[in-house]
A and B are shown apart, each in its own frame.
Chain A
């Protein structure tokens, strides 16, 4: 297992290197150089232009620029943003990366769980109206024009019903005389979420060997208790209302991202289940007289999970893209919204820096999914 992880990490590092190279040459394939953006100004004297070119290092030979690019990216020096001057790109990213992480991780985990659970059920009831409606609904959600779908969610639940705020990260009125700033509160929330998910994962790990009914009771019970504890701690901390404000802003984007990405998992689980159902050991399990639920969850679903996880790895990039779109629709100040805003305002350093981080993020997500896969399927530990 350890050797496998080391091998994957090395591969990821290599891929990252190739990725950075591609980014560098994409930017450099443009006519002129980055300094021309300002240096083409006819009012600019030639010596200032030369000075600018020297400042940006674009008068150096290409290979030297490439090495500098690599070094700067690795050390986190991504330049200064044009549109948010004088903030550095790294600073902007440091603020916005956690926001995207929360949005993306929550939506991914929930949509995987939801998709797998629903896919299991529709494969078991093949041919009925349940299958047709859920297939149609799933495909529609999977291919829906995401901006429009996000808009409909805003219009329906925020604009008409008024249950949630319309986009943005927080409500300035609530935060007017807040004891601490949004970023630190948000990081605390992030830490809480991480602790909570570790607990949930541990509970599932411990109870997975028990009988089905017993496992369900244990899982629901311990998760409910830990959620209650977390809520209690936040309520007594005095900044609970601030966290609640952020949570209120989070619900709608997360729900939208979950809805558009669970369908892929659901449809794939269905197909994968249909292939597994034909295996002999399923027949054997039935012949033993096991209850239907046990056959479905323990014998079919467990084996149908593998291809689903594989394709889940491939769909991570899809989820990131979905996140980019959702963020810009909901004005959620994360990486995706930054990427789009920087692109629209031609803030090249910020756009490229964000893009590098989005790529890095996908790579790390891949690594995590690979390790998970190695854990699930002992055969891949080569």
Chain B
């Protein structure tokens, strides 16, 4: 096979064709996505929390007094009793330490998003590389990686994180990395490998190999891009599990974080308001509902993306 260097104008038009194709498939997938309905619900909830997260620094710098509304060290001097019920100045009341609940909620939303995003990115990076290498090389590499994946899948994640938090200081960053490693080498890696298996037998891989493409080049340029749609789907599930694990661990008081939704419930628990759900609902419901809503919205989004990616689930 003779490789001729293409003229510049051709290269540019090739890009235009590619962009056009991408735009068309995006449009098609978007209409499929709209058809699933549950995905839209998930997207709306995620956008709502994103707005909350974005609004927090703006509010802190304009309307809210830092001494009163700081999520960690603020104190509501304007209330006589803590925890204070919702009022105009504190729409969701204050916690037993006199801190504004809404401010805590909004401040934590940002770190939840960052945590989820980081965990998802780490998962996908590891998962695609594991999947692509296992499928491309096969044999011993495949076997080793898949046995490792078996172990990772069997690991009870929360229990590991609980034990690890006894051994070292676990903050948001460490948590995201740990979840990324567990899921990247585990379940996500296996799924992406099965997808990669169908990619590595395609003729263009053979073509790339005969035209002298190196192993790394083939994996990075030809295999990995074809895994990205599926890995995007698995990012959503990782975000769910990251937010969930963070909430559980900080609820148990095992995480080294300044403020998070789980920690808000931990504060409620340690102050002894946990079973007074009726009288002090604002201490429990905002944070718990936020965790549940954000987790399930990412999960819903993942499920509807699943229907977009997997044609067998579509309605006839």
Q: Chain A residues in contact with chain B, CB under 8 A?
A: 15, 18-19, 22, 26-27, 29-30, 126-127, 132, 135-136, 139-140, 142-148, 151-152, 154-155, 159, 166, 267, 271, 274-275, 278, 314, 316-317, 320-321, 324-325, 328, 336, 339-340, 342-344, 346, 348, 351-352, 355, 358-359, 362-363, 366
Given contacts A346-B166, A352-B163, A355-B159, 5 further A-B contacts (CB under 8 A): A140-B296, A148-B292, A151-B274, A342-B166, A344-B254
Q: In the complex, which residues of chain A have a beta carbon less than 8 angstroms from the beta carbon of B159? A: 320-321, 324, 336, 339, 355, 358
Q: In the complex, which residues of chain B have a beta carbon less than 8 angstroms from the beta carbon of A271? A: 306, 313
Q: Chain B residues in contact with chain A, CB under 8 A?
A: 37-38, 41, 147, 150-151, 153-160, 162-168, 187, 240, 244, 247-248, 251-254, 265, 274-275, 277, 284, 288, 291-292, 295-296, 299-300, 303, 306, 312-313, 315-316
In the complex, which of the residues A22, A135, A314, A351 contacts B187, with contact meaning CB atoms closer than 8 Å?
A: A314
Q: In the complex, which residues of chain A have a beta carbon less than 8 angstroms from the beta carbon of B41? A: 136
In the complex, residue of chain A having the shortest beta-carbon distance to the beta carbon of B42:
A139
Q: Considering the chains assembled together, what is the distance between the CA atoms of A336 and B248 in angstroms? A: 13
Given contacts A132-B37, A135-B38, A139-B303, contact A147 B265 (CB under 8 A): yes
Cβ-defined contact, B296 with A143, below 8 A:
yes
In the complex, which of the residues A18, A143, A317 contacts B157, with contact meaning CB atoms closer than 8 Å?
A: A317
In the complex, which of the residues B154, B252, B284 contacts A366, with contact meaning CB atoms closer than 8 Å?
A: B154
Cβ-defined contact, B291 with A148, below 8 A:
yes
Cβ-defined contact, A321 with B265, below 8 A:
no
In the complex, which of the residues B38, B157, B306 contacts A136, with contact meaning CB atoms closer than 8 Å?
A: B38
Q: Considering the chains assembled together, what is the distance between the CA atoms of A344 and B250 in angstroms? A: 12
Q: Chain A nearest CB: distance from B46 CB in Å?
A: 13
In the complex, which of the residues B156, B265, B295 contacts A143, with contact meaning CB atoms closer than 8 Å?
A: B295
Q: In the complex, which residues of chain B have a beta carbon less than 8 angstroms from the beta carbon of A15? A: 147, 150-151, 154
Can you list 28 A-B contacts (CB < 8 A)?
A15-B150, A29-B167, A135-B38, A136-B41, A139-B296, A142-B296, A143-B244, A143-B295, A145-B244, A145-B291, A145-B292, A147-B265, A148-B291, A151-B274, A151-B275, A166-B275, A271-B313, A274-B312, A275-B312, A316-B154, A321-B158, A324-B158, A324-B159, A339-B163, A344-B252, A346-B166, A351-B166, A355-B159
In the complex, residue of chain A having the shortest beta-carbon distance to the beta carbon of B306:
A271
Q: Considering the chains assembled together, what is the distance between the CA atoms of A154 and B269 in angstroms? A: 14
Q: Considering the chains assembled together, what is the distance between the CA atoms of A27 and B164 in angstroms? A: 9
Given contacts A26-B164, A154-B275, A159-B275, contact A145 B313 (CB under 8 A): no
Q: Chain A nearest CB: distance from B267 CB in Å?
A: 13
In the complex, residue of chain B having the shortest beta-carbon distance to the beta carbon of A352:
B163
Q: In the complex, which residues of chain B have a beta carbon less than 8 angstroms from the beta carbon of A126? A: 315
In the complex, which of the residues A145, A362, A366 contacts B295, with contact meaning CB atoms closer than 8 Å?
A: A145
In the complex, which of the residues B162, B240, B288, B316 contacts A148, with contact meaning CB atoms closer than 8 Å?
A: B288
Q: Chain A nearest CB: distance from B33 CB in Å?
A: 16
In the complex, residue of chain B having the shortest beta-carbon distance to the beta carbon of A271:
B313
Instruction: Among B158, B168, B274, B291, find the residue whose CB has the most chain A CB atoms closer than 10 A.
Output: B158
Q: Considering the chains assembled together, what is the distance between the CA atoms of A154 and B316 in angstroms? A: 44
Q: In the complex, which residues of chain B have a beta carbon less than 8 angstroms from the beta carbon of A325? A: 158, 248
Q: Considering the chains assembled together, what is the distance between the CA atoms of A144 and B38 in angstroms? A: 17
Cβ-defined contact, B248 with A274, below 8 A:
no
In the complex, residue of chain B having the shortest beta-carbon distance to the beta carbon of A146:
B248
Q: Considering the chains assembled together, what is the distance between the CA atoms of A352 and B164 in angstroms? A: 10
Q: Chain B nearest CB: distance from A23 CB in Å?
A: 8
Q: Considering the chains assembled together, what is the distance between the CA atoms of A325 and B265 in angstroms? A: 14
Q: In the complex, which residues of chain B have a beta carbon less than 8 angstroms from the beta carbon of A152? A: 277
Cβ-defined contact, B248 with A343, below 8 A:
no
Q: In the complex, which residues of chain B have a beta carbon less than 8 angstroms from the beta carbon of A321? A: 156-159
Q: Chain B nearest CB: distance from A43 CB in Å?
A: 25
Q: Considering the chains assembled together, what is the distance between the CA atoms of A53 and B254 in angstroms? A: 28
Q: In the complex, which residues of chain B have a beta carbon less than 8 angstroms from the beta carbon of A346? A: 166
Q: In the complex, which residues of chain A have a beta carbon less than 8 angstroms from the beta carbon of B167? A: 26-27, 29-30, 348
Cβ-defined contact, B163 with A26, below 8 A:
yes
In the complex, residue of chain B having the shortest beta-carbon distance to the beta carbon of A147:
B251
Q: Considering the chains assembled together, what is the distance between the CA atoms of A139 and B153 in angstroms? A: 21
Q: Considering the chains assembled together, what is the distance between the CA atoms of A151 and B236 in angstroms? A: 27
Q: In the complex, which residues of chain A have a beta carbon less than 8 angstroms from the beta carbon of B277? A: 151-152, 155
Cβ-defined contact, B162 with A339, below 8 A:
yes
Q: Chain B nearest CB: distance from A286 CB in Å?
A: 15
Q: In the complex, which residues of chain A have a beta carbon less than 8 angstroms from the beta carbon of B165? A: 343
Given contacts A18-B151, A26-B167, A339-B163, contact A142 B299 (CB under 8 A): yes
Smallest CB-CB A-B distances: 8 pairs? A148-B288, A321-B158, A143-B295, A145-B291, A143-B296, A343-B166, A320-B156, A317-B156
Q: Considering the chains assembled together, what is the distance between the CA atoms of A146 and B159 in angstroms? A: 14
Q: Chain A nearest CB: distance from B213 CB in Å?
A: 35
Q: Considering the chains assembled together, what is the distance between the CA atoms of A316 and B159 in angstroms? A: 13
In the complex, residue of chain A having the shortest beta-carbon distance to the beta carbon of B277:
A155
Cβ-defined contact, A148 with B163, below 8 A:
no
Given contacts A147-B248, A340-B162, contact A324 B156 (CB under 8 A): yes
Q: Chain A nearest CB: distance from B123 CB in Å?
A: 16
Instruction: Among A29, A145, A324, A352, find the residue whose CB has the most chain B CB atoms closer than 10 A.
Output: A145
Q: Considering the chains assembled together, what is the distance between the CA atoms of A191 and B150 in angstroms? A: 32
Q: Chain B nearest CB: distance from A202 CB in Å?
A: 29
Q: Chain A nearest CB: distance from B298 CB in Å?
A: 8
